[in-house]
Structure 1
Amino acid sequence: MSTVGDVAEPTPSWDPYARGCPSRDLLDQIGSKWAVLVLGELARQGACRFTQLRQRLAGVSEKMLTQTLRTLERDGLVLRTVYPEAPIRVEYALTPLGQTLRGPLKALTDWSVRHIEEVLTSREEYDDRAGQQHRT
């Protein structure tokens, strides 16, 4: 894969719009609500323990956080480090590959904050129109 600056040029054989392409699966995984929030939190705060992540990500269940962290670790985006202490301490941090998502995730997060009012207005207008259509 050739690179331009820090951005890797995609391999022509990978097409996320094609059925069965592994890049589609990766987009699905890193684009999930909890993965975006876990990656974003690790990018903002650095290494965190499980309980710290769970506290900072209001609403995530222990099961969902565990599944998300395992998936991100499997994909090479998060590193799980076990410290042989009593009690055992486990921390999660972004890998160098995970660090490459910092910019795109920050841009997506910033966009969502900047445009949330417009989106909420659009949703309300849509719901009003949909409600009127169902009454007729």
Structure 2
Amino acid sequence: MTPDALAALHARCFTTPPPWPAAEFIATLSSPGAFLLHESQGFLLGRVVADEAELITLATAPEARRQGIGRSLLAGFLAEAAARGAATAFLEVAADNTGALALYTQAGFAVQGRRRGYYHAPDGRRTDALILTRALV
């Protein structure tokens, strides 16, 4: 997927946190340890630094949700992170994103922290961010 295609899909999936422009994808993908996994209707951006993996963002086209794309991308992330030497993985998710929370907890992630009012919605509403982690080894 091109940075423009990533940005377009990200914009269809997110308002909070704000969707990334193509330049943000270019910058992130050029950083050490970053990797991209994608399918026709979704993508995942991750990074491994030392022995820790971060799931940076996961996006699935709204019309293609609940078809296993997110689960497949997440499994790919866990495998790629382990192959790159990560012992643990972490991610951040909006506390009100029930679909994502279900996906991550089914994959063995557990809440380790909360950032109160971290996300700012376009309407001014604030939402907590949850920090989830899991062991890879």
TM over 0.5, yes or no? Answer: no
Structure with higher RCO (Cα < 8 A, 6+ apart): 2
What's the TM-score once normalised by structure 1's chain length? 0.24
Q: Counting strand residues as a fraction of each chain, which structure ranks higher?
A: 2
- Greater percentage in helix: 1
Larger radius of gyration: 1
